[in-house]
Structure 1
Amino acid sequence: MQAAALLNLLQFASPALPIGAYSYSQGLEAALENGMVKDADSARRWIVRHLHEVVAQWEAPVCWRLMRAFAARDGAAVAQWSERFIASRDSAEFRAETIQMGFSLSRLIAELGVAEAAALALLQREAEVSLPAAFACAVDALAIPHEAALLAMLFAWAENQVLVCVKSVPLGQVAGQRLLLSLRPELEAAARYAQNVADDEMSNWAPGLSLLSMQHEVQYSRLYRS
């Protein structure tokens, strides 16, 4: 990867990116409340299962398809996969999460002036912008290799999950970094799967996670928005 692309990737995969990712736990806070996650071992089990059974089965493959669609300037494919992703968000919190962060990232891309007009037009024609669509647009605008971008997307997701555990289990800082380091083979496997899974093999079927998200909507004490 060229140095410029690497620097662009580091910037747009950073938790400092002002799109609000740190404010979401994606159901993990509800799992903590229910006692499903309570220490380092259970935190790792939760993250690995969420990665392989949810993210690698749907979110990562959708992001991969959106990156290819933006590269080809295929407006129909951009609209199709963005709409499918939003439709797959089966709780109010999950839907609000992707739309809020998608809107924030798309606005950031526009304000930074990094995207070509044609690519930005593909994004802005959507009534609601999903986070994967906005991320794919940024990847195209900054000439980031797709394989690296997919790994960065997965790592950023895992890092955020680990940070939730550090704050709320609680885990120590070193334990959190040890956990994140141990996830690297899992992230690589998830990326490989997402790049090769066929359309008719993709799935967002995760009823347990959906129920936890719905419970979180009425949870008495919350630090996170999902």
Structure 2
Amino acid sequence: MQATALLHLFQLASPSLPIGAYSYSQGLEAALEKGIVCNEATARAWIVEALHHVVARFEAPVMWRLLHAFAAQDLAAVTTWTERFVAARDTAEFRAETIQMGYSLTKLAIDLKVADDALRTLLEAQPEVPLPTALAYAAVALDVPHEAALLGMLFSWAENQVLVCVKSVPLGQVAGQRLLLSLQPELERAAHTAMQLADDELSNWSPGLSLLSMQHEVQYSRLYRS
């Protein structure tokens, strides 16, 4: 990868990207409240389970398709996968999360003028922009290779989950870094899965996670918005 594209990838995957990712746990806080996640081992088990059964089978392959759709300037494909992703958010918190972060990244990318008019038109044609759509748009606009962009998205998701565990289990900083290091082969496997799945193989079926998300909506004490 060229140095410029690599630096752009670092910027998109950075936790300092001002889209509010730090304020969401994607159901993990509810699992902490229930005692499902309580130490380093259970934290890793939670992240790996969510990675392979949810993210790698729906969120990542949707982004993979959006990367190709933006690169081909295919408005129909961008719209189809954007609408499907939003429709698949099965709780109020999960939907609000992706729309809020997608809106923030969209505004940032447009303000920074990272794309030409033709590419920006594809994005502005969407009534709602979830995070995978905004990420795919920014990655294509910044000439980040598709595979690298997908891995960046997966790493960013995993890092956010680890940071939630460091702050809320709590885990030490060394334990957090050990956990993140141990996830690298899992992230590679998840990326491979996402790139190989056919359209009719995509699924975000995870009733346990959905129930935890709904319970989190009425959880008495919470630090995160999902």
The TM-score, its normalising length taken from structure 2, stands at 0.99
Q: Give, in angstroms, the shift of residue 118 of structure 1.
A: 1.0
Q: Distance in 2 between matches of 1:217 and 1:37?
A: 18
Aligned: 1:25 with 2:48: no
SS in 1 for 2:155: helix
CA distance in 2: counterparts of 1:206 and 1:149, whole angstroms: 25
Structure 1 residue 164 corresponds to structure 2 residue 164: yes
* Mapping 1:1-226, distance limit 5 Å: 1-226=1-226
TM-score by length of 1: 0.99
In the TM superposition, what whole-angstrom CA distance separates every residue of 1:192-218 from its partner, at most 9, and x where no partner exists? 010010000110100000000000000
Letter in 2 for 1:80: T
C-alpha distance in 2, partners of 1:219/1:113? 40
Q: Return the offset for 1:160.
A: 0.2
CA distance in 2, matches of 1:157, 1:115: 24
Aligned residue for 1:144, secondary structure, equals coil
Q: Distance in 2 between matches of 1:219 and 1:15?
A: 26
- The CA deviation string for residues 78-99 of structure 1, in whole angstroms up to 9 with x for no partner, is 0000000000000000000000
Partners of 2:139 and 2:118 in 1: how far apart?
14
- 1:128-176, CA deviations, whole angstroms, 9 ceiling, x for partnerless residues? 1110000000011100000011001000000000000000000000000
Structure 1 unaligned segments of length 5 or more: list them: none
* CA distance in structure 2 between the aligned counterparts of 1:97 and 1:116, rounded to whole angstroms: 27
